[in-house]
Amino acid sequence: MKNYKNLDAFWMPFTPNRAFKENPRIVTRTEGVFCHTDDGRKILDATAGLWCVNAGHARPQIADAIAKQAHELDFTSPFNFGHDIGFEFAERLIQHTPDPLNKVFFANSGSEAVESALKIALAYQNSRGKSGKFKLIGREMAYHGVNFGGISVGGLTPNRKGFGPLLPVDHLPHTLDLENNAFSKGLPEAGLEKADALEELIKFHDASSIAAVIVEPISGAGGVILPPKGYLKRLREICTANDILLIFDEVITGWGRLGSAFAAVEFDVVPDMIVSAKGITNGIVPLGAVFVADHIHDTIMDNAAEGAIEFYHGYTYSANPVSCAAGLATLDIYEQEGLLTRAAGDIGEYWENALHSLKDIEQVVDIRNYGLIGAVQFKQPAGTTAPIGGKFQVACYDNDVMIRAMGNIIAFSPPLTINPEEIDQLIAAIRKTANELF
């Protein structure tokens, strides 16, 4: 350790703290697609930080915009006051959302943006006189942040257990199907009928009690689980037919990850709301947003008393000026460098072929990919109930690559600026690590 020898005060999130502090992995500097460590190594960041540094690390354009804004207007209350950069950022953002998602509600993270979207859904139903529509539908193996609404609709058991009664929700089945779809390149062929489970939930609860359905177009923290072809369109059809809102949680899939600005654009399915964060500011400064359909916004506005607050919700740091400056600079980079569509081109094809070259490793049972996201799933190790992912993650770090692990799955979401040579470095490190552990 070069700097902080006492690691005791920092209670780290989603981390086995005791194990980490016995063998800390400390990053001191970042640039491009690499992190530099306190022991002098250069580590390939194959997760874009945490699914978020889409334009690559340490972009001077973003850093300069943050510094300039902090000197000119660092903060002003977003309650009953405004600032130009918040309105400018909202206007720029909706140039990338599908019609009619033309309103932006700002939060500070994906978790808060999910919470905001769920409350907007309930407020909308109340505003049109349908207060009985209060139930929410999520999906198994989904991650929607860590606030109470998010863990209620989320489908990851460790995130839910131990926190007492949650919101009135039900869950769709997940779409992972190794028997029929293992080693699919892009969206899997089998499983469209899994969307029809929504009709069964509607029959059970009755449409008159359901406010909204929320899904990740591609589940990230659940293990990069892709929807079967036609699945998202079928959900849209069922929601429309039953007067139920559809929310896409695009905290991970947004901002170029799949080869379009959003999965809603890539898959040509328009939800009623899109939840966004992470890549919206390149992960540099916290900011989240909900993109809301005009009719939802207008219903809430039009049914409030004249002069009244229409929606009793918001955050101290909603549309924080410094965060907005980072976001505007990030959008400039995305647009100037064509990063929102880069994953749909040659680099996406190179990524797909490189990942699937790992199929010959005996312990690999599935490889999944789309755009510049991917995952490799391993067999459960024999003779133990402990999954291999955590050990694989630590061993990869020792082999100069940073990855994500969940159970027996390792996941990747590199900066959208990654090149073929850097992809080759990742694949070589994965193969080397597998040879060491298996």
Return the CATH number at 238: 3.40.640.10
Q: Considering the domain boundaries, does residue 8 fall inside one?
A: no
Domain that holds residue 42: 17-58+341-437
Side-chain half-sphere of 409: how many Cα atoms within 13 Å? 19
Shared-domain flag, residues 262 and 322: yes
Q: How far apart are CA 181 and CA 175, in angstroms?
A: 10
Residue 236 domain-assigned (yes or no): yes
Whether 42 and 167 map to the same domain: the answer is no
Find out whether 168 and 205 touch, Cβ atoms under 8 Å. no
pLDDT value of residue 204: 98
Closest CA to 30 of 52, 5, 53: 53
Q: Are residues 266 and 209 part of one domain?
A: yes
Q: Are residues 102 and 165 in the same domain?
A: yes
Q: The CATH number of the domain where 46 resides is what?
A: 3.90.1150.10
Burial (Cβ within 10 Å: 0-12, 13-18, ≥19) of residue 332: middle
Residue 397: which of 11, 56, 19, 12 has the closest Cα? 19
Do 158 and 278 belong to one domain?
Answer: yes
Ranges of the chain with pLDDT below 70: 1-4
Rounded Cα distance between 231 and 246, Å, is: 13
> How many domains does the structure of the chain reveal?
2
Q: Are residues 265 and 290 in the same domain?
A: yes
Residue 303 within a domain: yes
Q: Determine, yes or no, domain membership for 2.
A: no
pLDDT at 3: 60
Q: Which two tokens stand for residue 287?
A: 């900011």
Residue 409 in tokens: 């799955």
Q: Do residues 73 and 208 share a domain?
A: yes
Task: Look at residue 72 and tell me if it is in a domain.
Answer: yes
Question: Quick one: 153 and 258 in the same domain?
Answer: yes
Mark whether 281 and 404 lie in a shared domain.
Answer: no
Q: What is the pLDDT of residues 195-209, one digit of tens each?
A: 999 999 999 999 999
Q: Which of residues 306, 338, 370 is at a domain's end?
A: 338
The enclosing H or E element of 24 equals none
303 and 234 assigned to the same domain? yes
> What residue type is assigned to position 137 of the chain?
I
Same domain as 83, residue 49: no
- Distance CA(96)–CA(188), nearest Å, equals 27
- Compute CA 225 distance to the chain's CA centroid, rounded to the nearest angstrom: 12
Specify whether 33 is located in the same domain as 70.
no
pLDDT at residue number 394:
95
Residue 397 counted as domain residue? yes
- In this structure, what are the phi and psi dihedrals at residue 295, rounded to the nearest 5 degrees? -65, -30
Q: What pLDDT, on a 0 to 100 scale, did the predictor assign at position 5?
A: 74
Residue ending a domain, among 338, 356, 383, is 338
**Of 286, 308, 338, which residue is a domain's last?**
338
Please check whether residue 11 lies inside any domain of the structure.
no
